[in-house]
Amino acid sequence: MAAVKINQLAVDELPWTIEYDRSKCAMCGKCVAACSFGALKVDVLKIKKTQAKVDEDGFTKEEETWAQPYIKQVVSHTNYCRGCGICKKVCANNAIKPVRNEREVYGTRYRCATGESVKRGGRCNIHTEGRTLDKIKVGRISQMTDPSLDALRHTFDMRTPLGRVMSAENMTFDVKDGNLELKSNMPTNRWIYPIIIGDMSIGALSWRMWEAVAIATAYLNEELGIPIRMCTGEGGIPERLLKSRYLKYMILQIASGHFGWDRIINSMPDMIEDPAGILIKIGQGAKPGDGGLLMAKKVVKHIQEIRGVPKSDLLSPPNHQGLYSIEESVQKMFLSMNAAFKFKVPVAIKVAASSTSVSVYNNLLRDPYNIVGGFFLDGLDGGTGAAHEISLNHTGHPIVSKLRDCYLAAVHQGKQGQIPLWAGGGMGMNGNLAADTFKMICLGANGVFAGRLILQMAGCVGNDFGKCNACNTDLCPVGIATQNPLLVNRLDIDRVAENIVNYFKATDTELKKLLAPVGNSSLPVGRSDALVTVDKNVAERLQIQHVC
């Protein structure tokens, strides 16, 4: 009798199990070939058939044994099924699919076997309660006394500023012939769409995916007049783009790893346009207090070139090594980035939402140099290409109340709007980016940024219930978050760009469909009286109307 191997990983301990119907299987092998994780293999079943026969000699036993090939789930700590469902997509006969194993213990088994923490991509997969934004409705509808607008016929001014906004008292004007004339230079403001495509680097994304996003951004601006901007993430930017006129749609990110900045700085003499902005990333909502992470598997040759690094795990430090205080960061980093672009490009900061966000924002609002051009707050529902699961699932701060707190802190100082507030982390998580954007704007945001949703527009199969989340493995089955040429080729650039363009076209219409009933033709920043909620706690916390 075989020994029972109780310490070996078992299939029913994995997060996903393969449901396979051998009777439907044509043995074409497509599922095995398509599974980027190597979680399927062709194996052989030994089938034995025994029959009892009765004849004049009495009972006799007849045995027949044969082998039959079948698809078998691999049981492994590394090559295990992520539930991506590509096998199901390629199977003509619907013979195979992954099924979520609610009683899985993979995380425990992995830690026991390797002594390492679990890493993955995606976003928080623990859901303890409903989304706050979904509990809020746009409830202040114009009726009779202030007519609703017509979303299709009225014109709407959809732009919002990025860059330090000076108070009226601090703007120096001369009055000449009844006209105001600016006496001195002012911080740069850029008027952009209230949604930024946020911070996904080349490296985390495949080059084809990143290019598709860049193409969509340019198309939205140049063909549809939707002035959306795209943030590069911390991973550099192709040199050709740096020297092109499309640079004006790109917000360049610098984080603690400074990846790609060598190339950016070297390209500066050849830039024919200024970038849309600079975003200094201090923290990220998906893994607050932790730095960026790009596994060596994904640091292929072109990534090494763009980032200026050797092939190795790229771990951005959790903080900027040269900075130890807010004031110092203003002095050093903001000033130097502003100076580098001759004070013509807004320099903003991105921090993970935290209990301390209000203090930081308050401090920056008091900055006498007026040099901080935007405060990007990233909540815990933000996504990432790679992080320790403990960070994803157990650290972070929801974005909604923190955004509101920051806005009200600015109101308290009488400085609302002076450092534009941008909120991200789970925007469009329910599929509707326009609704989330509108509600966040009413709560005080000048705009929002979204990343994870963009991947879903491109065909990402992952979700927040343990599906796929393998962005860190270089095995992304749809070619979005991998540098493996075979997998990347699965992605159709033009199709992805088209999807993104179409989504934003729809979003623009939907935003207007929310502006119109509240009777506004410009963005209602801070207009929280337009919102209501049936949740009393949410109402109290956000200072909006409680309804029932």
CA dist 311 and 295 (Å) reads 9
Establish if 269 lies at the interface with another protein (CB under 8 A). Answer: no
Nearer to another protein, 332 or 527 (CB): 527
- Distant-in-sequence, close-in-space partners of 34: CB < 8 Å, separation ≥ 6: 86, 87, 89, 90, 477
Establish if 525 lies at the interface with another protein (CB under 8 A). Answer: yes
Nearest approach, Cβ of residue 517 and another protein (Å): 11
350, 501, 202, 200 alpha-carbon torsion, rounded to 10°? 30
Establish if 166 lies at the interface with another protein (CB under 8 A). Answer: yes
Yes or no: say if 215 and 454 are a contact pair by the CB < 8 Å rule.
Answer: no
Nearest approach, Cβ of residue 250 and another protein (Å): 20
What is the per-residue DSSP string for 57-84?
TEEEEEEEEEEEEEEEE---SSS-----
Nearest approach, Cβ of residue 196 and another protein (Å): 17
Q: What's the distance, Cα to Cα, between the start and end of the chain in Å?
A: 66
Looking at residues 460 to 519 of the shown chain, list those that interact with another protein (rule: CB under 8 A).
518-519
Nearer to another protein, 21 or 146 (CB): 146
Nearer to another protein, 131 or 154 (CB): 154
CA 90 to chain centre: 27
Structure tokens at 493: 């650039």
Nearer to another protein, 166 or 335 (CB): 166
Nearest approach, Cβ of residue 348 and another protein (Å): 15
Q: Which stretch binds another protein (CB under 8 A): 13-21, 144-152, 196-204, 362-370?
A: 144-152
Burial of 59 (0-12, 13-18, 19+ CB in 10 A): exposed
Nearer to another protein, 28 or 224 (CB): 224
Q: Phi-psi category of 225—alpha, beta or left, where left has phi over 0 and alpha has psi -120 to 50?
A: left
Burial of 88 (0-12, 13-18, 19+ CB in 10 A): middle
Instruction: Tell me which of 154, 258, 263, 297 binds another protein, using CB under 8 A.
Output: 154
Structure tokens at 192: 């952009």
CA separation, residue 344 to residues 2, 132, 163, 371, 422 (Å): 74, 38, 10, 11, 20
Helix (H) or strand (E) holding 36: none
Nearest approach, Cβ of residue 422 and another protein (Å): 15
Q: Which stretch binds another protein (CB under 8 A): 32-40, 142-150, 379-387, 466-474?
A: 142-150
Establish if 344 lies at the interface with another protein (CB under 8 A). Answer: no
Instruction: Tell me which of 186, 300, 323, 358 binds another protein, using CB under 8 A.
Output: 186
Q: Which stretch binds another protein (CB under 8 A): 5-13, 49-57, 149-157, 421-429?
A: 149-157
Instruction: Tell me which of 76, 117, 167, 336 binds another protein, using CB under 8 A.
Output: 167
Establish if 171 lies at the interface with another protein (CB under 8 A). Answer: yes
Establish if 151 lies at the interface with another protein (CB under 8 A). Answer: no
Nearest approach, Cβ of residue 414 and another protein (Å): 3
Instruction: Tell me which of 14, 31, 87, 149 binds another protein, using CB under 8 A.
Output: 149
- Distant-in-sequence, close-in-space partners of 7: CB < 8 Å, separation ≥ 6: none
- Give the max Cα distance, the chain: 125
Amino acid making up residue 201? S
Establish if 189 lies at the interface with another protein (CB under 8 A). Answer: yes
Instruction: Tell me which of 30, 89, 527, 541 binds another protein, using CB under 8 A.
Output: 527
CA dist 325 and 327 (Å) reads 5
Looking at residues 403 to 422 of the shown chain, list those that interact with another protein (rule: CB under 8 A).
411, 413-414, 416-417
Q: Which stretch binds another protein (CB under 8 A): 92-100, 131-139, 421-429, 527-535?
A: 527-535
Establish if 181 lies at the interface with another protein (CB under 8 A). Answer: yes
C-alpha angle 536-541-547 in degrees, rounded to nearest 5: 30
Positions in the binding site for another protein (CB under 8 A): 142, 145-147, 149, 154-155, 157, 159, 161, 165-169, 171, 173, 175, 178-182, 186, 189, 191, 411, 413-414, 416-417, 518-522, 524-529
